[in-house]
Amino acid sequence: MHYWLMKSEPDEVSIDDLAAAPGQTVPWFGVRNYQARNFLRDTMKIGDQAFFYHSGGTDPGIAGICEIGSDPYPDATQFAAGSPYFDASSTPEKPRWLVRDVRFVARTRYLTLAELRTCPELANMRLLARGNRLSITPVSAEEWQFITGCLLELPAPKR
């Protein structure tokens, strides 16, 4: 099993949106970085777990946990001319961008980026690397265990 951190702008898709979605599942669309796309396409597997990270805004952080729920398939937004994710060079015959469905697992207490930066155990976490802007990054088993076991075991606040 692999572990991931997947970033989403909360005004586009939030952990609450995922929890409220039919079947508590949404397609993870809009990935437009080749390295993140390659993680999604080549390394992720159904059943892998991921931290659902709210990016952007004034206080980015981990808001929950989701699970990879499908094999990769073409991201329909790349073909929609009015979409901010439109890619004129991608075709249905040769799609460039892919999605995977993710399923809701749990809301967690909100763990901010600032809190994550204070943990020496996470010093090598890719999220915390200077200049990292990838929307999908791998999380080591040790990082996953530290975050879930030590920091996220506190009850989630009522939202």
Q: Confirm or reject CATH 3.40.50.800 for domain 3-70+97-151, answering yes or no.
A: no
The position carrying tokens 């939030």 is 14
* Token digits of residue 85: 């994710």
pTM of the model: 0.91
C-alpha distances (whole Å) from 94 to each of 22, 73, 83, 115 are 29, 12, 19, 42
Average pLDDT over residues 71-99: 96
| Cross-strand partners of 27 | 101
- Judged against a pLDDT cut of 90, whether residue 105 lies above it is answered with yes
According to DSSP, the residues that pair with 61 across neighbouring strands are 54, 112
pLDDT band of 159, cuts 50, 70, 90: very low
Rounded to the nearest angstrom, the gap between the alpha carbon of residue 18 and the centroid of all alpha carbons in its chain is: 12
Percent of the chain predicted with pLDDT > 90: 87
Distance, in Å, from the CA atom of 159 to the CA atom of 29, rounded to the nearest integer, reads: 25
- Distance, in Å, from the CA atom of 63 to the CA atom of 81, rounded to the nearest integer, reads 31
Burial tier of 52 (Cβ tally within 10 Å: 0-12, 13-18, 19+): buried
Residue 154: is its pLDDT beyond 90? no
Residue range 12-65, pLDDT digits in tens: 999 999 999 999 999 999 999 999 999 999 999 999 999 999 998 789 999 999
Average pLDDT, the chain: 92
- Closest to 6 in 3D by CA, of 153, 122, 139, 113: 139
What pLDDT, on the 0 to 100 scale, is given for residue 137?
97
